[in-house]
Amino acid sequence: MTEQRTSPVSQKTHGTRPGERREALTCTHVSKSFGPTRAVADVDFHLDAGEVLALVGENGAGKSTLMNMLSGGLAPDTGEITVAEPTGELGRRVAMVHQELSLFANLTVAENLALDHAEPASEPESRARARAVLDRLGVDIDEDATVGDLSVGQRQLVEIAKAITVAPVLLILDEPTSSLEGPQVELLFRAVRRLAAAGTAVVFVSHRMDELFELCDRVLVMRDGAQVDFGDLATRTRADLVASMVGRETTSFYPDRAAPDAVRAADEATAAVELDGVSVAGRLHDVSVSFPAGVITAVAGLEGHGQSDLAEVVAGVRRPDHGTVRRSGRAVRFATPRAAVRAGIGYVAPDRRLDGLLLDQSITANAMLAAAPRIFRSGFVSARKERATVLGVVQTLAVRCASVLQPVVELSGGNQQKVLVGRWLIDDDLQVLVLNDPTRGVDVGSRAQIYDVVRALADRGVAVLLVSTDLQEILGLADQVYVMYAGRVTGRLPADGATEQSVMHLATGGNDHV
């Protein structure tokens, strides 16, 4: 279904008055191919100044190619893209914030923001400009802080601040909230609304449906490179969008949970992993938690309150200063993540490009990275068995690829994430799986596939530790939830007692019996 160009603007439009229309972007019958692959086919839509457009579709649907054409990074094969001229001298036509961050970790926030500014400035002026744009965004981040010392969510906000340093006609945000939590998301939304009110058109990509309905005016849905829907978001439902994206009706994203009796029985047995009085200077304080076999245990909380640090301790990425980590009842102290892997613990890091994948290597090389030494104990690698093993993962998770020998860097972000998660399907010795934001940048259809795999692993007896910035994911998937605040565990909730209200109460310092 395609909306006619005479359709009225949604009531949520921020930057235009009733009866006014000023086109910021016109995309006329645009197509793009890479060899025999048609990435984008005949996309045709327009966007007015001050409108916020939700761009949705499964991974591999053509969103990234379209965004790169809109930003000028790629030229369309056919069709035309027109962006209005900026109104101010210091304005620019298009700014894009990529899902994969482009900041320099060894530079300060102010130095990173200065790199994207056309006007040269002294160090005090650069710091003042940085402070001004961070204040405009409503972000309490020190402009003198080194970017490498910031959390992933803080880095994402700095990336957005960098994009709006010089007011663009069109701002493209690719999964900007994938690393953010509640308060940070609200900061971003307020900034987007202010930009829209000033006349900036925004293309907003997110797999979190609630965000789209809260922020956006219109929606463009893509499937297999084609535009399948464009129109006012207010006239669509979540079910409408999902059906357009995946080409079928979808009922539930989350598999059935473990029975409460089974969770209680598992909790009474020896834990697969247990932390007893664990502390990490400045990060964790006297944390005692247990992760039973066959149970999905989530650790929730606002960003920066210790959830990721706890996950890293279990995975051997971070060593505790005090306290004991037990693996099946025995005290352990992992010197490296490799030692944790040898103990049957797998880890999916939140930044797949930095900490998870060998980008220039093939899908096969990445998928076999952890399990190969156990599968081929003799040291002889059977190419046939390796290919069959990886093909099984690709088929189970519906990874879109040309072949299992394709370099991972050529895949979409969501398909890269599937390879990272799929790595642990291969390892029959896996007994604990630590998932740190496992569906970041993954579409709704692919999320359901990952959730099914995670539940299947738990049903196989694997203890799953889930940390996620998506509270709905935690509530939908976990059998039990620990909540953290300021580096401490403030409560533990069973699945039927975990609600947004109960989790947020504990995540903001409320107490409960653990």
pLDDT of the residue at 248: 58
pLDDT (tens digit, 9 = 90+) per residue, 49-64?
999 999 998 777 899 8
Evaluate if residue 356 carries a pLDDT over 90.
no
For residue 254, name the pLDDT band (cuts at 50, 70, 90). confident
d(CA 187, CA 462): 38
Identify which of 10-24, 305-319, 338-352 has the greatest average pLDDT: 305-319
pLDDT at 127: 92
Sign (positive or negative) of CA dihedral 5, 8, 10, 15: positive
- Write the DSSP string, 21-61: --EEEEEEEEEEEETTEEEEEEEEEEEETT-EEEEE--TTS
User: CA dist 70 to 36, 212, 221, 231, Å?
Assistant: 22, 20, 16, 19
Asked if pLDDT for residue 10 goes beyond 60, the answer is: no
Asked if the model's pLDDT at residue 514 lies above 50, the reply is no
Please report which helix (H) or strand (E) contains residue 469, including its range.
none
pLDDT band at 372 (very low <50, low <70, confident <90, very high): low
Mean pLDDT is highest, among 19-28, 69-78, 150-159, 383-392, for 69-78
pLDDT the model gives residue 44 = 96
- Encoded tokens for 207: 């797999």
Pick from 437, 490, 162: nearest CA to 305: 490
Across the range 80-90, mean pLDDT stands at 79
Question: Which of 80-94, 156-170, 336-350 shows the highest mean pLDDT?
Answer: 336-350
pLDDT for 378: 57
The model's pTM: 0.64
Q: Residue 379: pLDDT band by 50, 70, 90 thresholds?
A: low
pLDDT band per the 50, 70, 90 thresholds, residue 37: confident
Say whether pLDDT at 95 is over 80.
yes
Span 440-466, pLDDT tens digits? 777 777 788 889 999 999 999 999 999
Instruction: List, in order of start, the domains of the chain with CATH numbers.
Output: 23-246 (3.40.50.300), 252-344+464-514 (3.40.50.300), 345-430 (3.40.50.300)
pLDDT at res. 512: 61
Mean pLDDT of 189-198: 87
Q: How far apart are CA 277 and CA 331, in angstroms?
A: 13
pLDDT digits (tens, 9 = 90+) for 483-494: 999 899 999 999
pLDDT of 20 > 70? The answer is no
To the nearest whole number, what is the mean pLDDT of the chain? 85
Report the SS3 class of residue 381.
coil
pLDDT at 4 (0 to 100):
31
Task: Please compute the mean of the pLDDT values over residues 249-256 and round it to a whole number.
Answer: 69
Q: What is the mean pLDDT of residues 197-221?
A: 91
Buried-exposed string 405-433: b where 16+ CB fall within 10 A, e elsewhere: ebbbeebbbbbbbbbbbbbbbbbeebbbb
Q: Which of 39, 41, 85 is nearest to 60 (CA)?
A: 39
Residue 145, helix vs strand vs coil:
coil
Structure confidence at residue 402 as a pLDDT band (50, 70, 90):
confident
**Strand 345-348 relative to strand 296-300: parallel, antiparallel, unpaired?**
unpaired
With beta carbons less than 8 A apart as the criterion, state whether 404 and 368 touch: no
Question: Of residues 302 and 162, which shows the higher confidence score?
Answer: 162
pLDDT of residue 13: 46
The top-scoring range by mean pLDDT among 198-202, 299-303, 414-418 is 198-202
CB 426 within 8 A of CB 375: yes
Task: Write down the pLDDT at residue 65.
Answer: 93
Instruction: Pick from 10-19, 119-128, 169-178, 182-191 the range whose average pLDDT is largest.
Output: 169-178
**DSSP secondary structure code for residue 369 in this structure:** T
Q: How many angstroms separate the CA atoms of 337 and 355, rounded?
A: 11
- Greater confidence (268 vs 19) lies with 268
Strand order in 226-232's β-sheet? 78-83, 23-34, 37-48, 226-232, 218-223, 52-56, 201-205, 168-174, 92-97
Q: What is the DSSP string of 113-125?
A: HHHT-SS---HHH
Mean pLDDT of 385-405: 88
Q: Is the pLDDT of residue 9 over 80?
A: no
Average pLDDT over every residue of 119-127: 83
Q: Is the pLDDT of residue 467 over 90?
A: yes
As a residue count, the chain comes to 514
pLDDT surpasses 60 at 91 = no
Q: Which of 85-89, 146-150, 179-183, 249-253 has the lowest mean pLDDT?
A: 249-253
